[in-house]
Chains A and B, each alone.
Chain A
Amino acid sequence: MIQRIYPRALGGAAGLSVLALGVLLYVGIGRLGLTLAPSLLLVLCTVPLYLAASIAFGAARRRGRRIGDYPLSLALPSATYFGAFFVVPTVFLAVFAVASTTGYGVIHYGFSLDAFRTALGSVYREAFFRTLRMAAVGTVLTALVGYPLAYWIARYAPARRKGLLVALILLPFLTSFLARTLAMLLILSDSFVAWHVLKTLHLIGDPPHLADTTTAVQIGLVYNYLPLFILPVFAALERMDWSLVNAAQDLGASGFTAFREITLRLTAPGLLAGVLLVFIPMMGEYVIPFILGGGRVDMAGNLITRSFLEVSNYPVGSAAALLMMGALAVFLAVYIVLSVRSEEQYGA
């Protein structure tokens, strides 16, 4: 009896905590003067969450004793987090995206696709493809820079130094993201002392005019996301059985063939995870272009930010954000398909 009530109680608690957060948000939203509609929807959207939570817990219990070894209640904190800060805001976005504005941006709730029309317009489309290009180039560069380092640490670095080396890779995270990017601005600017030194030594002519360009943004993207790529790839390489590579070479494979056929394939899941970990945030990046692009390089994130924080056109910002999420979901789907397949093939 107790065992039957327990999951229900947990599900109930999960639902209620989401509901409580909903109410808190409701109070907060009330202050925004957006009228009742989004708040009501918000509360309504917690009901299915509540139901889903209790059903999930009930189902988990019913599926058999063994599942009890993996208590689902451990997922409760993250479920609450995702519910409150992902599901709920997404509902908001959806409500805003189909609303319309009049006058100085006063929101009228209803159903209108105007915002989507604007968000699919040429300016947004171009920004999306520019962002896609920059994120793709950034990801490839990150992989080219990061993979060899991860490879070296995993295969050749002395075992007792590995921890230190990984710590060094994480070192930049000890300073704030903003401070790092601002520091980059100083280094990339023409007045950076190194350019003067190089010029005095007649090694270069004029400073390279890097600051405030797309190139600067690209360099910034790679630098800031490099550790996020190196770590999963290192984890995958660390698990590699290097005797397989030696065996391949003994059997006549060239170094490159052995790498391509064995190392690359076995570390593909880690590589894929690393690629995804840098590609998706790069797509949504807006701070780096804002600082390093001198305000003249707009990525999709900057347009969305501006429509919320400056223009106060919530519908267009929301529509663009949803379209962006949709586009990224495609990449996520590709990742899931690929990773499932490589797991089936190589059991990594």
Chain B
Amino acid sequence: MNKPIDIPAEINVLAPENRADEIAGEISRRQFLAAAGVGAAALAVPGLASAARRAAALESKLLIGNYLNYAAPSDYTTFTKLFGPKVTVSTYSSSQEMVAKLRAGGSAYDIVVGGGSEVIILRSLGLIQKLDHSKLPNLKYLRPDMHKTPYDPGNVYSVPKSVGMLSFWYRPAVVKERPKTLMDMFKLLPKYKSARVNFLDGAKETLDMALCTLGRNLNSTKPQDIADAKKLLIAAKPYVDTIGGNAIELGSRGQIDICLGFNGDAKVVNRALQKHGDRVIFFLPQGTTEYFIDNWIVPNAAKDPDAAHKWIDWMCTPTVAAREMNFIGYLSPITGIEKYVTKDLANDPTINIPAKDLARYQTSHPSPKFLQLANQVYDAFKAA
């Protein structure tokens, strides 16, 4: 009874890859139970006991703020099974809505998902906390360039989650041409009057896209650029049927013919449509467009910061990152995922964007002035 039980530091198990985490979690829990079961003996393996205590110290819940369909629901339940905290998800439809929710207080998100521009804004408002890297050992799996993102070098406040880009996707059954640039698509809108056209939600994203269409600097606040962007949008308004419609849901039912949206969403829509012999084409614009890095961010108001760190760390595990990528359709910035990612994603240039295209694309770093202008343009666009 008093004889310390020899618990190996590492156990090798032959198991299917997709169940690896679950099994790993199961084993570590058994190790913990074995250690706890022998009472005093547990003290003989201090390293493990403290690990177990640390695991037990996680809070009992985790509130994640995210865009709709931007994480695999099965991972929420798996996380609870593995580590304990019960995951609740609350969604928002635009980055600005998330920032506004954090500013208004009230919603105590433990984690939010936001782009580089949100990291900048939330940081300047003092609403997010520095990450404790000692709780994020799996950061080592992050792609090297993701350690020095322009908005947060060294991942002080943010850990990249997904990389995506903005362009149009359309149903070739309706649109006969093959547009090459964003402007091509804008020019086609009047031709397809009865096509169902959806634009994404959010003032910032809309102005970003309009500026890119015109080939201007994405973060421009020059009056001429803004006026031209506004003109472009308002001229297109009569052909736009919905703004901020749920692209994945409507698209998957074949209810969107032309959509201004994101590459990953188009991928998910395609998977649904292919079952009915339909499809959409998302194109990499030959001109410029916006690409973005979305991040896990921990707000100051987080009530469960340890669980939040655990989640972020877990998300950086290659198997989990790959599973997420397979579900949401967006490129994961984690290394070592290649063998777990489905071929249709890994080989798709619209998801795994070639470096030569990426070099042409821009990221958003909005100044306060830009946001103010974006809101004015968006209000005018919606009112037109």
Residues on A close to B: CB < 8 A? Answer: 31-33, 102-106, 123, 126-127, 130, 189, 191, 212, 294-296, 298, 302-303, 306-313
Q: Which of B99, B105, B125, B242 contacts A296 (CB 8 A)?
A: B242
Report the minimal beta-carbon distance from A291 to chain B, rounded to whole angstroms: 11
Q: Which residues of A contact B380 (CB under 8 A)?
A: 123
Q: Which residues of B contact A32 (CB under 8 A)?
A: 103-106
Determine the residue in chain A with the shortest Cβ distance to B376: A123
When A32-B104, A310-B96, A311-B100 are in contact, do A103 and B245 touch as well, CB less than 8 Å? Answer: no
Is B242 a contact partner of A295 (Cβ separation < 8 A)? yes
Tally B residues with Cβ within 8 Å of A: 33
| Bound CA span A123–B97, Å | 21
| Bound CA span A306–B376, Å | 12
Q: Which residues of A contact B241 (CB under 8 A)?
A: 212, 294, 296
Q: Which residues of B contact A307 (CB under 8 A)?
A: 375
| Bound CA span A130–B382, Å | 13
The 23 sampled A-B contact pairs (Cβ below 8 Å) are A31-B106, A32-B105, A32-B106, A103-B368, A104-B99, A104-B368, A104-B371, A105-B368, A127-B383, A294-B241, A295-B243, A295-B244, A295-B245, A298-B379, A298-B382, A302-B382, A306-B375, A309-B104, A310-B94, A310-B100, A311-B100, A311-B203, A312-B104
Q: Does B237 count as interface, using CB distance less than 8 angstroms?
A: yes
| Bound CA span A104–B124, Å | 8
Determine the residue in chain B with the shortest Cβ distance to A32: B105
Is B105 a contact partner of A126 (Cβ separation < 8 A)? no
When A33-B105, A312-B103 are in contact, do A296 and B96 touch as well, CB less than 8 Å? Answer: no
Report the minimal beta-carbon distance from A127 to chain B, rounded to whole angstroms: 6
Q: Which residues of A contact B100 (CB under 8 A)?
A: 308-312
With a 10 A CB-CB cut-off, give which of B105, B121, B244 has the most chain A CB atoms: B105
Q: Does B286 count as interface, using CB distance less than 8 angstroms?
A: no
| Bound CA span A106–B201, Å | 23
Determine the residue in chain A with the shortest Cβ distance to B371: A104
Report the minimal beta-carbon distance from B142 to chain A, rounded to whole angstroms: 27
Q: Which residues of B contact A105 (CB under 8 A)?
A: 103, 368, 371
Q: Does B77 count as interface, using CB distance less than 8 angstroms?
A: no
Is B125 a contact partner of A106 (Cβ separation < 8 A)? yes
Q: Does B90 count as interface, using CB distance less than 8 angstroms?
A: no
| Bound CA span A240–B116, Å | 67
Is B105 a contact partner of A295 (Cβ separation < 8 A)? no
With a 10 A CB-CB cut-off, give which of A106, A191, A295, A303 has the most chain B CB atoms: A295
When A32-B104, A212-B241, A294-B241 are in contact, do A104 and B383 touch as well, CB less than 8 Å? Answer: no
Q: Which residues of A contact B203 (CB under 8 A)?
A: 310-311
Q: Does B240 count as interface, using CB distance less than 8 angstroms?
A: yes
Q: Which residues of A contact B103 (CB under 8 A)?
A: 32, 105, 312
| Bound CA span A303–B103, Å | 19
Q: Does B255 count as interface, using CB distance less than 8 angstroms?
A: yes
Additional A-B contacts beyond A189-B255, A306-B375 (11; CB < 8 A): A104-B368, A123-B376, A130-B383, A191-B253, A295-B201, A296-B237, A296-B382, A308-B100, A310-B203, A311-B371, A312-B100
Is A123 a contact partner of B383 (Cβ separation < 8 A)? yes
Q: Which residues of B contact A309 (CB under 8 A)?
A: 97, 100-101, 104
Report the minimal beta-carbon distance from A132 to chain B, rounded to whole angstroms: 14
Residues on B close to A: CB < 8 A? Answer: 94, 96-97, 99-101, 103-106, 121, 124-125, 201-203, 237, 240-245, 253, 255, 368, 371, 375-376, 379-380, 382-383
Q: Which residues of A contact B371 (CB under 8 A)?
A: 104-105, 311
| Bound CA span A298–B378, Å | 11
| Bound CA span A298–B379, Å | 9
Q: Which residues of B contact A130 (CB under 8 A)?
A: 383
Q: Which of A127, A212, A295, A310 contacts B97 (CB 8 A)?
A: A310
Is A191 a contact partner of B255 (Cβ separation < 8 A)? yes
Q: Which residues of A contact B105 (CB under 8 A)?
A: 31-33
| Bound CA span A308–B125, Å | 16
When A294-B241, A294-B242, A312-B103 are in contact, do A123 and B379 touch as well, CB less than 8 Å? Answer: yes
Report the minimal beta-carbon distance from A302 to chain B, rounded to whole angstroms: 8
Q: Which residues of A contact B99 (CB under 8 A)?
A: 104, 312
Report the minimal beta-carbon distance from B132 to chain A, rounded to whole angstroms: 23
Is A312 a contact partner of B243 (Cβ separation < 8 A)? no
Q: Which residues of A contact B376 (CB under 8 A)?
A: 123
Q: Which residues of A contact B255 (CB under 8 A)?
A: 189, 191
Q: Which residues of A contact B379 (CB under 8 A)?
A: 123, 298, 303, 306
Report the minimal beta-carbon distance from B161 to chain A, rounded to whole angstroms: 22
| Bound CA span A33–B102, Å | 11
Report the minimal beta-carbon distance from A24 to chain B, rounded to whole angstroms: 14
Q: Which residues of B contact A295 (CB under 8 A)?
A: 201, 242-245, 382
Is B125 a contact partner of A104 (Cβ separation < 8 A)? yes
| Bound CA span A48–B69, Å | 51
Q: Which residues of B contact A306 (CB under 8 A)?
A: 375, 379
Report the minimal beta-carbon distance from A30 to chain B, rounded to whole angstroms: 9
Q: Which residues of A contact B124 (CB under 8 A)?
A: 103-104
Determine the residue in chain B with the shortest Cβ distance to A206: B194
| Bound CA span A188–B94, Å | 26
Report the minimal beta-carbon distance from B207 to chain A, rounded to whole angstroms: 13
Q: Which residues of B contact A296 (CB under 8 A)?
A: 237, 240-243, 382
| Bound CA span A307–B382, Å | 14
With a 10 A CB-CB cut-off, give which of B100, B124, B253 has the most chain A CB atoms: B100
Q: Which residues of A contact B101 (CB under 8 A)?
A: 309
